[in-house]
Structure 1
C-alpha cells in the first residue's frame, strides 16, 4: 500500500494521467526493484525537468514494455530447459534401476546354488549397498520432479499472463480483435443453446482522421484511450468491450435485448460527448468528440459475420444520418420501409 500511495502521489504531482502503464512505471520506481530505471528518473528530477505523459510513455516503453512474442519465446525456452532436465533425471534413474535389476538377477542365480557363508555375506553387503544407491537415486529424482512441478506451475502462470496480454489491445488496454473474434463465437454458441438474447454494438469515432491530422497522433491515441475507458466502464458482467480496429470499437452484449442495448448505447454516446478535451501543455481546448453507434440483435441461424454485417449497416446509417447517433436494425428497417429506395448497405 505504501508503494501504491507513493505511485499515485507521483502521478498527481507530475500531472501524468493515471493510465495502467504509467501507474506500473511509478509503482516500479517506488519499489526500487529496477535500479537503472530509478537512476534515470532521479536524474530527470535532479535536472529540474517537468515530467510529462510523453516522457512517462518513453520510459515505460524502454524499461517495462515487453513484446508478447518475446515473452512467449522466453517461456518456451524455460519450458524446454525444464523438460530436458526432467528427461535427464529420469534417464539417470532408469540406468540405475536397470543396473539394480541386473544385480538382483545375478544374486538370484547365486542364491540358487550352494554358496559359502563368506560368499553369502559378500552378496548381502553388495545388495545392501546397491539398494542404498537405488534409494538415493529415487530420492534425488523425487526432489528434481518436485522442483520441476513448482517451476512448471510458475511457467503455467507466465503462459496465462502472456495469453491475457495477447488478447489485449496494447494502446487502449481493452480486448483486441482476436479476443473479440473468440468472444463472438462463444456468445453465439451460448445464445443458440440458451435462447437468451444477444446484441452487438459497433462504435466509430466521428471525424477521427481530421482530429488526428489537426492535433497529432499522440492526442489521437489519448482519444482512443478515452473512448475505450468510457466503453469499458459502462458495460458489466459477461459483456465484452474490444477495439475492432483503427477508431472502431465493439461490445458483445449477452443476455441483452435490442431495447436494452439502445439504452446502453445512448448512455455511452452521452458520456463520450460530455468529455471536453484539453491539451495539457497549453490548456488549449480541443473541443468534444462524438461517436456513432450501430446495433444488431442475434437471430437464429446467425453467424458472427452476419451479425457484424447488420450492425455495420446500422453504423453506416448513423453516420449517414448526421453522426453522433445510435441506430439499431429496427430503426433501419423502419427507415427502409418508409423510403423503399434508400439502402444502408
Structure 2
C-alpha cells in the first residue's frame, strides 16, 4: 500500500477521497460498512495499487462483495503500519526507560563506591593523626560526602519511582494494543487470529495433559436473507446480540470468538461432549426466545435461530482437522432443517 495514501487521509484530500469512495461503492451497490469504506477509500486513493487491482478483478467476475470477503481483503491489503508502529514506539520507549534506569543505578553504584573510599580514607587518617585541625578537616569531608550521597540517593529514588509509573503505563499500552489486535471490533469477542492461536494452544495442552477438548461452530440461520431485507446496520445488531449470548457462556477457561461473518466458534477445554452439547442447546434456545426489534424504528424483526456443530477432539488430531469435523457437524444441522445442534462422528483423525 502506498505511503502517500496515509498522507492524503490526513489532509484536505481526505474529503475528496471519501466522496469518490462513496460514489464508487454506490455505483457497484456495495454497502458502506466501516471496513468497506476503508477498503474503497484506499482503492480510489491508489487506483494502481494491489488492492485496487484485486477489487477490480472481483467486480469484473461478478463475485458478491460479502462481509467475509471484505474481512479477507482488509486482512490482506489494509496497512498494518499503525498497529506495528504503536508496538514499536511503545517498545522503544520502554527500552529507553529501562536504559535510563540502568544508567541511574550505575551512577548510584559509582557514588557508593566513592563514598566507601572516602570512609576508608577517613578511617586511615583518623588512625594516623590526632591533631584537631586534621580531625576537623576529615569530619568536614565526611559531611560533604554524606550530603552528596544522600542527594544522589533521593534523586535515584525519585527516578525509580517515576520510571516504575512510566513502565506500568507502557505495559498497559502494549497490553491494550495486543487486545485491540486480537478483538473483533463489532462484537468484542476474540477475532479469527486470536481463535486460531488459542485453538493451537488448547490442542497442544490437551495432548500434553491427556485432557478432553471440544469445539463448536455456530452460525446464524438465513442471515443473508435477513441482511438483504433489513440492511447491514440491523444485521450488525443481530450479530452483536448473538455474540452476547455466546460470550455469556464463553467465560474462561472457555474461549468464544467471531469466526467470520455470521459464524462463531466456542472452545471447551477439559469438557466433554455432553456438557458442551447442553451449553449449545442453552445458546440456541436463548437466541430463538427473543423477539427482536429494529433499533432505529422499533419495527418487529421477528426471531432468529442458530445452528451449531460440535466435535470432540481425538488424541493427536490437528487443529485443521478438528475444525473441519466441527464444520461438518454444523452443515449437518443446516441440512436437517436448521435451529439445531449436531455432533460430529468420532472417526479416525488425519493428524
Q: When the two structures are superposed, what TM-score results if normalisation uses the length of structure 1? A: 0.63
C-alpha RMSD of matched pairs (Å): 3.6
1:203 corresponding residue in structure 2: 218
Aligned to 1:146: 161
For residue 243 of structure 1, what is the aligned residue in structure 2? 258
Out of 178, 198, 221, the position equivalent to 1:183 is 198
In 1, the alpha carbon distance for the partners of 2:113 and 2:277 equals 72
Mind listing any 5+ residue stretches in structure 1 that lack a counterpart? Answer: 1-66, 334-345
1:195/1:87 CA distance change after superposition, 3 Å: closer
Aligned residues: 267
What's the TM-score, normalizing by structure 2?
Answer: 0.62
SS of the aligned residue for 1:203 comes to strand
Write out aligned runs for 1:48-87 (5 A): 75-76=90-91, 79-80=94-95, 82-87=97-102
3-state DSSP class of the match of 2:214? strand
Counterpart in the other structure of 1:136: 151
Partner residue of 1:271 out of 279, 286, 305: 286
How do 1:307-326 residues align onto structure 2 when only pairs under 5 Å count?
A: 307-326=322-341
| Residues 1-345 of structure 1 aligned to structure 2 (within 5 Å) | 75-76=90-91, 79-80=94-95, 82-94=97-109, 96-97=111-112, 99-100=114-115, 103=118, 118-235=133-250, 238-330=253-345
Alignment gaps of 5+ in structure 2: 1-81
Q: Which deviates more, 102-111 or 306-315?
A: 102-111
CA–CA distance in 2 between the matches of 1:328 and 1:176?
A: 24
Q: Contact 2:226/2:235 (CA < 8 Å) preserved in 1?
A: yes
Answer whether contact 1:242 1:249 (CA < 8 A) is retained.
Answer: yes
Cα-to-partner distance string for 1:83-133 (whole Å, 9 max, x where unaligned): 354245335434534654665676688779779653453244223311331
Larger mean CA deviation between 84-93 and 251-260 belongs to 84-93
1:11-60 CA-partner distances (Å, limit 9, x unpaired)? xxxxxxxxxxxxxxxxxxxxxxxxxxxxxxxxxxxxxxxxxxxxxxxxxx
* Maintained 8 Å contact 1:276/1:285: yes
Aligned with 1:330: secondary structure? coil
CA deviation vs aligned residue, 1:144-174 (integer Å, no higher than 9, x gap): 3234334434544554455444443221122
Structure 2 distance, partners of 1:179, 1:125, is: 65
Report the alpha carbon displacement of residue 332 of structure 1 after superposing the two structures with TM.
9.5
**Structure 1 residues 138 and 300, CA, compared in 2 at 3 Å: closer, same or farther?**
same
